[in-house]
Amino acid sequence: MTVNSHIMQKMSFPVKREGRVTWEDGVSLAGDIQEFEIRGMSVPLTGRDLLLVPEADRFKVQIWIFTEEDLQNNDIVVFQGANYAVQNVEPWYWYKRARAMRVDVGTERKREDAT
């Protein structure tokens, strides 16, 4: 095994997918959340890739996820303890390539107030 070979090995990623939103009396009700795992590989975006991202999002941490399994826009993928929202999914040879951006909403971290 070479030094960088662990980067190209498939890993398991927990995924959270929000179900269909319904409306009742003008109020939106969130659907059920499905949780499942996918297997795939992740790599950071290159500088050239970041040029194709909207300018306001270029400073945010983003990764590519390559998988044979189904990912959809707005899925939340957990990678190294952080939540990443899938921004777009496109076919990439026999894989699907998904660009995911780190989001802070919904993390399990608790803020400690210094009082």
How many contiguous H segments (helices) and E segments (strands) does the chain have?
Answer: 1, 8
Provide the token pair at 106. 């919904």
pLDDT, tens digit (0-9, with 9 covering 90-100), for 68-84? 999 999 999 999 989 99
pTM: 0.75
What CATH number is attached to the domain comprising 61?
Answer: 2.40.10.370
Give how many domains the chain has, as a whole number.
1
Closest CA to 71 of 90, 53, 57: 90
Whether 67 has a pLDDT exceeding 90, the answer reads yes
Whether 44 is in a domain gets the answer: yes
Whether 23 is in a domain gets the answer: no
**For residue 70, what are the domain limits?**
12-18+29-103
pLDDT, tens digit (0-9, with 9 covering 90-100), for 32-61? 888 999 999 999 988 888 888 888 888 899
Provide the token pair at 91. 């076919």
Unique residue bearing structure tokens 């993390």: 107
In the DSSP assignment, the letter for residue 56 is G
Whether 4 is in a domain gets the answer: no
- Name residue 88's beta-bridge partners: 99
Whether 7 is in a domain gets the answer: no
Query: What span, in angstroms and rounded, lies between the C-alpha atoms of 84 and 63?
Result: 8
